[in-house]
Amino acid sequence: MKRIAFYGGSFDPVHNGHIKIAQKLVNLFELDEFVFVPAFHAPHKKDKKPTSAFQRYAMLCLATKDEGKIGVSKVELDLPSKPYTIETLTKLKTALPKQKIFFVMGADSWQEITTWKEWEKVLTVVNIIVVTRPPIGIEFSHVTPEIQERIVDLRGKMNFELSDEDKIYITDAVSLDISSTEIRNKIREQTTGWRDNVPFEVANYIEKYKIY
């Protein structure tokens, strides 16, 4: 059975931490494919206006152009409406009935998961991979006991067997404290050093088109 992971988010901008996560998870979970899914606009973040979807998609394409198993999907960008994650996952599962699907999220998304539409269904319809990021801690008390029973803590582990059932895997395989918000702020404040946190082609794109 083919294993495919989808990593949803704003990626505003995509940074080295995102790419490292993709590379590590491909190896750790023996994935056949890893797909970034830039959101048109996160429905639960109505007060935050992201950079245009086209520019975020372009930056992801530049960042992954040399990565064999890592790509980018426009599944959320081609729809006329702004889809919720549950709608995207349901669509993917219908389109890929014979594949083992993983949905990747960061620690910050995990902490605010109960604000998502049909969040319990999101955590049960496919496998979930939660990637920890310092200094954000990982808590489990905010989810129901039923959800807690599905959690498999892989922190500190590099060898394990996947369950036949859909689970929620917690991993610390990537420990990079890089934030898209901090990168945007450094660019706007004209602080040096931000280029070190994003792929070379992405840094050039940001400067050429004055994204931030």
Residue 83 burial (CB count, 10 A):
19
- Domain carrying residue 26: 3-178
Span of 8-17, 29-38, 88-97, 173-182 with lowest mean pLDDT: 173-182
Q: What is the pLDDT of residues 70-109, one digit of tens each?
A: 999 998 887 767 788 999 999 999 999 999 999 999 988 9
Instruction: Name the nearest CA neighbour of 150 among 132, 165, 131.
Output: 165
The two tokens of residue 127 are: 């496998």
Any domain includes 204: no
Any domain includes 197: no
Query: Is the pTM above the cut of 0.85?
Result: yes
Any domain includes 206: no
Our count of domains for the chain comes to: 1
Q: What is the pLDDT of residue 194?
A: 97
For position 87, which CATH number holds?
3.40.50.620
Any domain includes 211: no
* CB-based contact 19:199 (threshold 8 Å): yes
H-helix segments, 126-199? 145-148, 180-188
Contacts of 118 (CB under 8 A, 6+ apart): 84, 86
H-helix segments, the chain? 16-28, 53-64, 85-95, 107-111, 119-125, 145-148, 180-188, 200-209
Any domain includes 199: no
User: What mean pLDDT do residues 41-49 have?
Assistant: 57
